Amino acid sequence: MKKLSPEEIEQLKTKAAKPGQDAMVLHPFYRGKVQVMPKCRVRDFDDFGIWYTPGVAKPCLDIKEHPEKSFVHTNRANTICVLTDGTRVLGLGDIGPEASMPVMEGKGLLFKYLGGVDAFPIALDTKDPDEFIRTAKLLEPSFGGFNLEDIAQPKCFRILDTLRAEMNVPVWHDDQQGTAAVTYAGLVNAVKMVGKELDKVKVAMLGAGASNIAISRVIIAGGVNPENIVMCDSKGTLHKGRTELQEKFKEKWHMCEISNKWDIRGDSAAAIKDADVLIALSKPGPGTVKPEWISSMTKDAIVFVCANPIPEIWPWEAEEAGAAIVATGRSDFPNQVNNSLGFPGIFRGALDVNARTITDEMCIAAALELAKVAEDRGLKRDYLIPTMDDWEVFPREAVAVGMKAIEQGVARIEMSRDELMKTATAKIKESRDVLQHLMKEGFISMGPES
């Protein structure tokens, strides 16, 4: 890449700042991003006798006798809960439940527009993991699944593991499973683009929080040799000498045991040196990752810098330092490795087959399909994975997830591949068409300038 001029760099920084500026105008204008609307006919007031008393008693009693009918008589089969305690919101940290709500509403908007899934944001005023677990279990009768969001580690691991084991609907932590699925998809194509082999690349992982721990688990299941991973937390690289982690952080200690065959001991720079791949989900930048660290990597280095809201290093700086492929978590740069490419389609597939859980194998199936969509369209260094504009991503992911759930025996409903595609496509198209119609007819304003 040619060296950018100061003027070009300033233009890129201005562009990067614009979404936040616009958000401060449009959030108070709309006063939220999601709402509840009827989905049944109301021809006249007599119809309320069907939807409410006295008619509603019949489906209530049917559910009492057959609890699984709650997925038939109500919207439960298409409804999930976006549940948080606001303790680790984006790159902002513990900002509390109220301040987390713009993010949770945004998640609901993405679920509906991209996946046709009805998602209700709920922020809990507790930091106690046991209270969180108990509350989620109490809410289970109302929802067809749960998307856990922005929960601090290490409690996020116990919350997810407990709820997955003890609930009968899919429970998913997007910062873990969602990030892992999309990152794996990008990694598969990036390695292919530079002509390297997944099981031979050295992977430096900057950050040892929920996201990178989950990513390590998924990429290992997908073919990366765990011995070739060097993970780094705020105190340095993970290795067998980090015995202080044995009792306090079992997930990190597991990585100490299975990774870093070179026994590299040092800081982030030491972890990144001679790596083929950098996967960073750590402290927001710029400046968290130094250009000289990128220069110390191997030829045709792959750099994923996915901290939000600012990547650990600006993409143009990473490229100038020698990176062949750069991905971030932002939609305003090429190669967005972002959960929004995963969770809408993955939940669409899980809900369509009424799955009891979302397994790692279902995540990998979605990731491979996500990678395949980009490959079908033609891989390029600035087109590693699809964008949210590639709407076929979401029904294709849904089909891959649904088929894997059926194969693994965790689906309550069985459908053919064609039936799954037809179902997912129809639901996603309906969501988009309704929103476009509401804007066209003026029920949703185009903004303060309109």
Active-site residue set? 52, 107
CA-to-CA distance for 113 and 38, rounded, in angstroms? 17
Concatenating the DSSP letter of every residue in 148-192 gives E-S--TTHHHHHHHHHHHH-SS-EEEIIIIIHHHHHHHHHHHHHH
Q: Which residue has the tokens 């890129």?
A: 12
Distance CA 33, CA 17 (A): 21
| Cα within 13 Å of Cα(305), Cβ side | 30
Cα–Cα distances in angstroms (integers) from residue 354 to residues 68, 111, 211, 428, in the given order: 10, 17, 26, 17
Report the alpha-carbon distance of residue 18 to residue 449 in Å, rounded.
17
* Number of C-beta neighbours around residue 238 at 10 A: 29
> Which pair of structure tokens corresponds to residue 74?
């109500």
Q: E-assigned strands of 367-431?
A: none
Identify the H or E element spanning 25: helix 6-30
Place of tokens 């699925």: 181
